[in-house]
Amino acid sequence: MNKKIDVVLNINGRDHAVSVEPRKTLVDAIRDDCGLTGTHIGCEHGICGACTVIVDGEPVRSCLMFAVQAAGKSVRTVEGLAEGDDLHPMQRAFIENHGLQCGFCTPGFLMLAVGVLEREPNISDQDLVDVLSSNLCRCTGYQNIIKAVRAAAHDMRKP
Amino acid sequence: MTSVGKFIGRSVRRLEDPPLLTGQGRFAADFSFPGQLHMRVIRSAVAHGRLVRVKTDEALKLAGVHAVWIAADVAHISPIGFRLTGLTALEPYRQYILARDRVRYVGEPVAAVFASDPYTAEDAADLVEVETEIEPAVLDPTESPSAFDETHSTEPIILAKGYGDVDAAFAKAEHVIALELSIGRHSGVPIETRGAIGVYEEQRDVLKMYGAAKVPHWNRDRIAAMLGRKPGTVQLLEGHVGGGFGVRGEIYPEDLLVCAAALKFRRPIKWIEDRREHMIATNHSRQQVHKIRAAIDGAGRILAIDNEFFHDNGAYMRTHAATVPDLAAAMLPGPYRVPAYRARGHIRLTNKTPCGTYRAPGRFESTFARERLLDAIASRIGVDRVEIRRRNLIAKSAMPYALDLETLGTHVVYDSGDYAGLLDKALKATKWCELQDQLRARRARGETVGAGLALFVEKSGLGPFDQVRIEALPSGEIEVVTGTASVGQGVETVIAQICAETLGVDYARVRVIHGQTDRIERGMGAFASRVTVMCGEATRLASVKLRDKTLRHAATLMQTQAVDLDIVDGTIVRTGGSSGPSMTLGKLAKALPDGLSAEDTFESAHMVYPYGVHVAVVGVDRETGAVSIERYLVAYDIGRAVNPMLVEGQIVGGFAQGLGGALMEEFRYSETGEPLSVTFADYLMPTAREVPAVDVLITEDAPSPLNALGLKGAGEGGTNAVGAALASAIDDAIGISGAVTELPVTPARLRALIGTASVRKGD
């Protein structure tokens, strides 16, 4: 149980060689072993989605995955969204539409929305709300998050 | 809208956003220190019992475990005291940081493990054995009081408030309406759980606690006193805060545990709450039963209200002491003329998680009770729900209106308001009359749809003071040091806007410091929708001082008169066409040996009272009992909106929480006091699917006369009347006046109501 295993986690294009117990969750490894604390923990039972990251192109709950399961996969976190000082359209849209207040759930929403829109750029408004209903926010009442994601979807479709 | 300034009144973008969007936030769990130990709390698994023994030897054998504490290890630490409304009669009900001889709720801290990493700490916690002699649990706050301990009852006190001759009013009343109403147990439940990290710096003899929120200065003083230290040797440091809503930032047992352990072990101690812990350990709120009666005349005018209510405070009296029932009693009359009033609030202890405040504390509850009463009066008299409210509203000409009641150490005096005016605007915005026709036609076609409304008065801007120090730095940046706190609501932006407008700089160059007890000697923190009002006015006052000082100094250096100078966009310029060089604030600050700063304090003995109207249109699914909200309007007068975008954000977010409490969220317990709502799978919070688009009408018709900008707080009006308005709309949809008497209106409860009605109608 407690014997540590060496794995390499590729996060935002960079390899992190870590030694983790098999039971260690991916989110704990990202935060504690790789030092990327932008991914947050809200419930550890897969419902709130604060810990959402993109693994091999799919938004996943990193509290429901073990770190060892991410070996050999490509993980993207909120720290990898902006390119230098250039914010991702999704980040810009959250500012412009007041899509965040306390900001704790925000990285999870950003990664969920980016992950979905990269796969389905022309997702319908209804389906988008369905997708966004898989994460919890306690501050905004969601309307501005929905507006922000719709605005970003529009921007992301631009060539 | 009233005058829009260069910054005040404008929906400028938030200064807080960039770090939060790029993963650079610093929330409690993001702080780590070399050599830190992780704390795991062992909690009672039974609702009530005598603590026989806590066995720690197996846990201590585990590799990586540093220590295990039980009550004896913290015997020198007094129980946690009261911050607000602390009545002497409540003191025997305070909570010790680790249970001594009894446990009184599932989740009560009994022991604490300190280990090298969080996984080991959890393993060790599983090895601690808590032996308890189980006793029956008290769960119903309305049953006869029983024994809390050998000498105290589960009813410490009955709060009494009121004025006028209630009995005489009932004796001459044309009608008497009596209702029994209950509000469910729910709470703030922020997405970030609590966290606390205690760090002791031996060289300087300074104890620091990270993870502070809401009221850092108060907590610094209390923690220092409880640990026998001078306040100056304790520092509380606020990082980013993942939502407060009333529950976060009060002193909890875990805060004292990490501080005491950091002192004892001379190592940093980190504690991060998990979600299950949060659901059973962090303050619950709201649960009350109201037995309310109104004496009315033949036209439905209120002659008196008599309200007896039962407040379920859970197992202990925490920092808020009697705050929630006190506010419920004081705010119940709301926007109506109530010539005689009597409230008796039974504070009851039960074997559930202890309670505190949650956004619109006491008002979500009392607005539900009062507005249900108004609907019942309308029904009895046979007039519509709007008309009955008009007949009873306090007139604009009666302002300021003293209620002859006190709460939170202040007299309740409505400072300004035009309640009927706002009602008209809300009805117009929703086209209320046409809406009624449309709904009637749809109901005739078999649809189960209806509309409801509710009115309320909020309170905000609790004093007694806020102090602000502003410094123009040589870099050209303006630093505003406050004693307030941020729980994610946009404090930095709003305070920067007020400073920028007054001083004459760009708001983006204003840096607002909050939640750091080492930066300013005193502060009141962030609660009771007080920050924009109290800290905002203190900021304005200090900005005026700094501006005067700047112009005075600049006049000497620039060889002119201060009256011929102005500050525009951070530069001191000559006005009136006189020529000569200008000078930046930064340059002036650099030139002055003592720098360029000013400080001021705003004091206020009275709160300011925003007011609002909620209108709801709902559809009910008769098969499932589900409620869908077709339309929702919140009209709210806050005197002056510094940043309308943020005000709207507060209202819509507050509405979503009100919706949760009205339809979905409930901390349920088994018959033996076992909590049944311990995950997000069984405590249901609204998602993007359940929260509709909300129409927000912000008005500025009644600026507060109690501060220069006319400000009132915006934080709680979105939440206040949601239970009341939805109840009224559901009644209308199912065609039974007064059907909803209990919140939340879950699908099961609504199906039962519809079922009863069908039986009554014989179909």
For residue B643, the chain A residue with the least C-alpha distance is A98
pLDDT band of residue B58 (cuts 50, 70, 90) is: very high
- Chain A residue closest to B25 (CA)? A38
- Check CB contact under 8 Å for B119 and A82: no
pLDDT at B2: 57
Distance between B410 CA and the closest CA of chain A, angstroms = 29
Q: What is the pLDDT of residue A1?
A: 53
Give the closest-approach CA distance of A120 to chain B in angstroms. 19
Instruction: Please report where in the chains the tokens 């359209």 appear, as a residue.
Output: A89
Question: What distance in Å separates the CA atoms of residue A136 and residue A138, rounded to the nearest whole number?
Answer: 7
Q: Which residues of A touch B124 (CB under 8 A)?
A: none
pLDDT of B733 reads 98
Closest residue in B to A50 (Cα–Cα): B191
Q: What is the structure's pLDDT at B194?
A: 98
Chain B residue numbers with beta carbons less than 8 Å from the beta carbon of A135 are 687
* Pairing relationship of beta strands A74-76 and A5-11 according to DSSP bridges: parallel
Sign for the CA dihedral angle at B144, B673, B661, B413 comes to positive
DSSP labels, B626-671: -EEEEEEEEEEE-S--S-HHHHHHHHHHHHHHHHIIIII----B-T
Contact at CB, B490 and A101, closer than 8 angstroms: yes
3 state SS of B526: coil
Instruction: Kindly state whether B652 is in contact with chain A, defined as any CB-CB distance less than 8 angstroms.
Output: yes
pLDDT reported for residue B758: 62
Which of residues 608 through 647 in chain B touch A, CB cutoff 8 A?
A: 645-646
Q: Check B688 against A129: CB less than 8 A apart.
A: yes
| CB within 8 Å: B685 and A136 | yes
Q: Which chain B residues contact residue A67 at CB under 8 A? A: none
How many secondary structure helices (H) and strands (E) does chain A include?
Answer: 5, 5
Tokens standing for residue B303? 């002659």
Give the per-residue pLDDT at A102: 98
Cβ of A50 within 8 Å of Cβ of B191? The answer is yes
The Cα B50–Cα B44 span in angstroms is: 11
Nearest neighbour of A101 by CB, restricted to B30, B189, B653:
B653
% pLDDT > 90, chain B: 97
CB contact under 8 A, B242 and A82: no
What pLDDT does residue B540 have? 98
- Distance of alpha carbon B684 from alpha carbon A48, whole angstroms: 11
ipTM score of the complex?
A: 0.98
* A43 contact B CB<8A: yes
Which A positions 64-123 lie with beta carbon below 8 A of chain B? 77-79, 81-82, 87, 91, 94-96, 98, 100-107, 110
* Span B27-45, average pLDDT: 98
- Å between A38 CA and nearest CA of chain B: 4
Q: Quick check: A98 and B687 CB within 8 A? A: no
Residue from B365, B407, B328, B344 nearest B157 by CA: B344
The Cα B124–Cα B638 span in angstroms is: 52
CB B217 within 8 A of CB B515: no
Q: How far is CA A4 from CA A7, A24, B263, B267, B738, in A?
A: 10, 10, 32, 25, 62
Per-residue pLDDT band for B759 (boundaries 50, 70, 90) equals low
- A127 and chain B in contact, CB less than 8 A: no
CB contact under 8 A, A96 and B17: no
Is residue B757's pLDDT more than 70?
no
The whole-angstrom distance between B119's CA and the closest CA on chain A is 8
Residue B370: which of B332, B412, B409, B326 has the closest Cα? B332
Interface of A with B in 53-72 (CB under 8 A): none
Measure CB to CB from residue A141 to each of B25, B488, B652 and give the nearest one.
Answer: B652
Helices (H) and strands (E) in chain B, counts: 19, 28
Yes or no, beta carbons of B21 and A95 under 8 Å apart: yes
Which helix (H) or strand (E) is B366 found in, with range? helix B363-381
How far apart are alpha carbons B476 and B680 in whole angstroms? 47
**Would you say the pTM of this structure is higher than 0.90?**
yes
| Cβ–Cβ gap B687/A133 under 8 Å | yes
Nearest 5°: the CA angle A142, A146, A150 is: 170
Q: Does B656 touch chain A (CB under 8 A)?
A: yes
Q: Across the interface, do B191 and A104 touch by the CB < 8 Å criterion?
A: yes
Helices in B562-634 by DSSP H: which ranges? 585-591
- The first and second tokens of residue B440, run together, are 């009637």
C-alpha span between B139 and B47 (Å, rounded): 10
- The alpha carbon of residue B604 is apart from the nearest alpha carbon of chain A, in Å, by 28
What pLDDT sits at residue B762? 42
Cβ B234 vs Cβ B223: under 8 Å: yes
**A25 interfaces chain B, CB cutoff of 8 Å:** no
Average model confidence (pLDDT) for chain B? Answer: 97
Q: Kindly report, residue by residue over B243-292, the tens digit of the pLDDT.
A: 999 999 999 999 999 999 999 999 999 999 999 999 999 999 999 999 99
**Straight-line distance from the first to the last Cα atom of chain B, in angstroms, rounded to the nearest whole number:** 52
> For residue range A109-158, what is the model confidence (pLDDT) as tens digits?
999 999 999 999 999 999 999 999 999 999 999 999 999 999 999 999 98
**B14 lies within 8 A of chain A by CB:** yes
Assign B3 a pLDDT band (cuts: 50, 70, 90). confident
Chain B neighbours among A 4-23 (CB < 8 Å)?
A: 21, 23
Say whether residue B665 is in contact with chain A using an 8 A CB cutoff.
no
pLDDT of residue B749: 97
Give the separation between CA A140 and CA A142, rounded to whole angstroms.
Answer: 5
- Under a CB-based contact definition with an 8 Å cutoff, are residues B324 and B356 in contact? yes
- Cβ contacts below 8 Å, chain A against chain B, sum to 170
Read off the pLDDT band of B424 (50, 70, 90): very high
- Determine, for residues B193 and A42 on separate chains, whether the beta-carbon distance falls below 8 Å: yes
Tally Cβ neighbours within 10 Å of residue B79. 17
Distance CA B526, CA B713 (A): 11
Q: What is the pLDDT of residues B331-362, one digit of tens each?
A: 999 999 999 999 999 999 999 999 999 999 99
Q: Do residue B243 and residue A130 have CB atoms under 8 angstroms apart?
A: no
Per the CB < 8 A criterion, the answer to whether B612 and B634 are in contact is yes
Chain A residues in contact with B119 (beta carbon < 8 A): 21, 23-24
| Mutation to test the B interface, candidates A127, A143, A145, A149, most B Cβ within 10 Å | A143
Q: Is the link from the previous residue into B354 a cis peptide, with omega within 30 of 0? A: no
Option in B22, B680, B686 nearest A79 (CB): B22
pLDDT of residue B576: 76
B82-110 pLDDT per residue, tens: 999 889 999 999 999 999 999 999 999 99
CA angle (B194 as vertex; A49, B256 as ends), nearest 5:
165
H or E element, residue B342: strand B340-348
pLDDT digits (tens, 9 = 90+) for B713-722: 999 999 999 9
pLDDT mean over B717-731 = 98
Q: What is the pLDDT of residue B1?
A: 45
Query: How many CB atoms neighbour CB A14 within 10 A?
Result: 10
Mean pLDDT in chain A? 97
Per-residue model confidence as pLDDT tens digits over B528-572: 999 999 999 999 999 999 999 999 999 999 999 999 999 999 999
